[in-house]
Amino acid sequence: MATITTRFPLRHVERSRLESVDFDNLPFGSIWSDHMFVADNIDGEWTDAEIRPYGPMPIYPSSKGLQYAVSMFEGFKAHMTPEGDLAVFRPDMNQKRFNRTAARFVMPELPKDLFFDAMRELLDVDRGWLPRADQGALYIRPSYFSTDPTLSVVSGRSFRYVLMTAPVGLYFTGSETVSLVTTRKFVRAFPGGTGGHKPAANYGPTMLASQQAQAQGYDNVIWLDGHEGRYVEECGVMNMWFVIDGTAITPPLEGTILPGVTRDSLIRLCGDFGIPCEVRRIAVDELLEAHAAGTLNEAFGSGTAATVQPIDRLGLDGTDVLLPQRPDSLASRLKAELHGIQTGRVEDRHGWLWRP
């Protein structure tokens, strides 16, 4: 990749940590690239934008990002193509979702050109951190929070945008499948809340439910709707999918479910495959009936981190449903097709790749 003309000041690290990284055994999200992009918004104006070494930043303990969780993030990936180029998967969708979340928290909009220019320059500077396609991907994490050090319950006058990257391997390790169990003690989102957005505060409260699911012998939870407690919404931190009698089904976006980029992509790939796909509510009772009738073919989750994650066991209101894994499953087909597009090995027929 040719070096671009820089828009932002750049402070190089004294010594890269790159040479110490084992790219064949990458963890998820604990190794960070050399640099990060940082910019502040003060009274509505963007200022002090620069690329600096990744590391600690001073922040007031009274800042609203810490005190009131006026904080949000996004996540998406860059992959290496067969030509050795870098391709980012559908960042336009993340950029739009980023600003929808910012608006929900009364935070200034991040201009589209700033979003993409900062990412282009940071990826150019830390290009060496991109793993090969068979090793993993470069995870891109934009974060945005209020730095206003006052305790009034408003979003504030000062904000910081930070863009980081991390070479990552698989999100789930040690197993090709996961197990899930319904929970009625905890609810992820309610109508009118922030379930359809991506604030940091959506994630912390899920940890106890996950811990209790693991104590029961499952990997994570199936989130049900907060009104009736009947309908499946998400699973862990992923969108949820079922295949019943050959039809793929995923819950609808009604404000409580995150509009996942991978979810949207899979809906379109189902159309490419000629697989019937329904976006509709699905109740736990329907799943139990389908299992009893032998028509519950498979289940899987989808998300940026895990991409497509097959599910081998569902704990549905006390009934364990085992789902045998097949090499020709829809989850396997979708995962292979999606990864092929992301890495440039399959034709990008929908124009999903951004090549900085």
Going by pLDDT thresholds of 50, 70 and 90, the confidence category of residue 301 is very high
For the domain spanning 178-342, the CATH number is 3.20.10.10
In 20-79, where does DSSP find H-type helix? 64-67
Give the pLDDT confidence score for residue 2 in this predicted structure: 36
Percent of the chain with pLDDT over 70: 97
Q: Is pLDDT above 70 for 84? A: yes
Residues carrying CATH 3.30.470.10, the chain? 18-169
Query: What sign does the CA torsion over 53, 59, 64, 69 have?
Result: positive
Q: What topology does CATH give the domain 18-169?
A: D-amino Acid Aminotransferase; Chain A, domain 1 (3.30.470)
Give the pLDDT confidence score for residue 173 in this predicted structure: 57
Residue predicted with more confidence, 233 or 2: 233
Give the pLDDT confidence score for residue 176 in this predicted structure: 82
Residues carrying CATH 3.20.10.10, the chain? 178-342
Q: What are phi and psi of 172, to 5 degrees?
A: -100, 130
Give the pLDDT confidence score for residue 348 in this predicted structure: 97
Q: pTM for this one?
A: 0.94
Q: How far apart are CA 80 and CA 288, in angstroms?
A: 42
Give the pLDDT confidence score for residue 205 in this predicted structure: 95
Q: How far apart are CA 231 and CA 251, in angstroms?
A: 9
pLDDT tens figures, 277-294: 999 999 999 999 999 999
pLDDT tens figures, 169-228: 876 555 589 999 999 999 999 999 999 999 999 999 999 999 999 999 999 999 999 999
* Average pLDDT value for residue range 221-244: 96
Annotate 93-112 with three-state secondary structure: HHHHHHHHHHHHCCCCCCCH
Q: Is pLDDT above 70 for 132? A: yes
Q: What are phi and psi of 208, to 5 degrees?
A: -70, -40
Give the pLDDT confidence score for residue 207 in this predicted structure: 96
Q: Is pLDDT above 90 for 267? A: yes
Q: Is pLDDT above 90 for 329? A: yes
